[in-house]
Amino acid sequence: MVEEAPYRDGAEQGELFPDASLPDELVGYRGPAACQIAGITYRQLDYWARTGLVLPSIRSASGSGSQRLYSFKDILVLKVVKRLLDTGVSLQNIRVAVDHLRRRGVHDLARITLFSDGTTVYECTSPEEVVDLLQGGQGVFGIAVSGAMREISGTIHEFPAERADGVEIEPRPEDELSRRRRTRRTG
């Protein structure tokens, strides 16, 4: 169960990705790339898609040889699901949390921190809500969705993307951090 506290205006952070570094809603990543970006196995991805836990929002598989296409938001949800599973949250409670996250836009997700006591998943969007939750005295762990977004946005551009409408994706100019990573990998 995801419990949501009311959003308090003024607690909002600055825009997480002001330079439009997020891919648009027509840009997607095939299954193997989505797995690498989210840190999951292809077997997990396939199972979660077949059971409806995390479905690709850009293009689903439609028979043998077709490729699923996952959006940035889908990959973010995959990463959050992985973290929740790693901390022992039941798949049933993760399904409830995922249903709740699906209704949010990417920029709305950047303001959310998920907390769980192992049974219930709580959504907090302000420091006050975090304090209220922690005052209960129970042990909880947190997942800052904005942190997962930063991790994904830092690596997603290293993977091949395609547009659902078939328009060619122009290569992005390499930024300094990407250039350093490439140099470190290649020596």
What is the domain partition of the chain in residue ranges? 24-103+147-170
Structure tokens belonging to residue 155? 């690596």
Task: Summarize the confidence of residues 75-86 as an average pLDDT.
Answer: 92
Q: In what order do the strands lie in the sheet with 27-30?
A: 69-70, 27-30, 162-163
The CATH number assigned to the domain with range 24-103+147-170 reads 1.10.1660.10
Distance CA 71, CA 95 (A): 19
pLDDT digit string, tens, across residues 107-117: 788 888 888 87
Of 81-85, 164-168, 178-182, where does the model show the most confidence? 81-85
The pLDDT value recorded for residue 187 is: 65
61 vs 101 pLDDT, higher one: 101
Average pLDDT value for the chain: 79
Q: Is the pLDDT of residue 78 over 80?
A: yes
pLDDT digit string, tens, across residues 151-167: 998 888 889 888 877 77
Tallying the residues shown for the chain, one arrives at: 187
The pLDDT value recorded for residue 22 is: 57
DSSP-based three-state secondary structure for 92: helix
The pLDDT value recorded for residue 175 is: 64
Distance CA 110, CA 67 (A): 28
The pLDDT value recorded for residue 72 is: 92
**% of the chain surpassing 90 pLDDT:** 24
Q: Is the pLDDT of residue 12 over 50?
A: no
The pLDDT value recorded for residue 65 is: 66
Q: Give me the amino acid identity at 116.
A: S
